Chain A
Amino acid sequence: MHRFANPARFLQLARPLTAATLLLGLALTAAGLWWGAFHAPPDYLQGESVRIMYLHVPTAWISMGSYLGLGITGIVILVWKHPLAEVALEALAPVGAVFAGVCLLTGSIWGRPTWGTWWVWDGRLTSMLVLFFLFLGVVALAGAFDERSRGARAAAVLAIVGLINLPIIKFSVEWWNTLHQSASITLRGSSIHPDMLHPLLTSAVGLGLLMAAAVLMRMRAIIAEQRIAARRARLAGDAA
């Protein structure tokens, strides 16, 4: 079994890691958002509404990245039946849902004064909404069974099937005519001015660390709950 599979080992790592990701995440997020909200320049076209970018873009990246993590965790569950992977899946899904939800909400709020609408059913927005529903579906499936492992396995299947949505989201703006513009940051470079790009990257790293912190805390909570349930079952067995 993998060195970190043993919950005790994981917990040894998780405790200092939680503090580190939480503190560093809060610091970088605060710095990036303060910078973006108050010190970065307005956009030549969008004016002040561009400041929503410092929330919307990081949460988009993070929700897509965390769904990739969710899918990989699902594969680990089905192929290796790793107990820690089941915990990770249960922890990732609701946190990923929140980040996806914040992405959709901030995007909608950004769209109204810029595009002139809160929502359109174009390829990008629709596939991001599907991503949000997939997170919710994983949460629901994982909790639908009395036996935690069965729920985790069912949810793992959904998580893996949903992976197809990630390239759809990414390439929606290239494959189809969409209202949402194409990518500003590509392997070839960035079309975002440095004065905006730097606070964006800062807040992205910060929010990513906060996501990690939330997932670590949820994993610790789930592991503790499992220990309580196991101990109670043993105590009840002893008393019988």
Chain B
Amino acid sequence: MNALPFVIAAYAAAAIGIGGVLAWSWLSMRRAEKAADALRGERR
């Protein structure tokens, strides 16, 4: 059995999973912190 397609599939799965959770974490952080800072601006 040629191992190459399996190796590629594993690296792709890891890239999607870990890259995905990093992207989600980053985007949710940016969105929430921006909104929180905007609200603080309204107070003044």
Contact = CB atoms under 8 A, between A and B. Distances in A.
The answer to whether A and B touch in the complex, with CB atoms under 8 Å apart, is yes
A159 interface: no
> Which applies to chain A's interface (DSSP): helix, strand, loop or mixed?
helix
A218 B25 contact: yes
Nearest to B1: A113
A38 B31 CA distance: 38
20 contacts: A49-B6, A51-B7, A95-B25, A98-B17, A102-B13, A102-B14, A105-B14, A106-B14, A109-B13, A112-B6, A113-B1, A113-B3, A217-B25, A220-B29, A220-B33, A221-B31, A224-B32, A225-B36, A231-B36, A232-B39
Interface string B2-40: 111011011101100110111001101101110110011
B13 A106 contact: yes
A139 to B, nearest CB: 12
A210 B22 contact: yes
B4 A55 contact: no
Contacts, number: 100
Given A101-B17, A228-B35, A109 B10 contact: yes
A193 B24 CA distance: 36
Contacts of A110: 6, 10
A213 B7 contact: no
B10 A221 contact: no
B6 A113 contact: yes
> Which applies to chain B's interface (DSSP): helix, strand, loop or mixed?
helix
Contacts of A46: 3
Contacts of B22: 22, 210, 213-214, 217
A151 B20 CA distance: 25
Nearest to A232: B39
Nearest to A110: B10
A56 interface: yes
Interface string A48-62: 110110011001000
Given A49-B3, A217-B25, A221-B32, A105 B13 contact: yes
Contacts of A207: 18
A52 B29 contact: no
Contacts of A52: 6-7, 10-11
Contact of B29 (A105, A109, A218, A231): A218
A46 B20 CA distance: 30
B25 to A, nearest CB: 4
A214 B21 contact: yes
B32 A95 contact: no
Interface string A224-240: 11011001100000000
B25 A47 contact: no
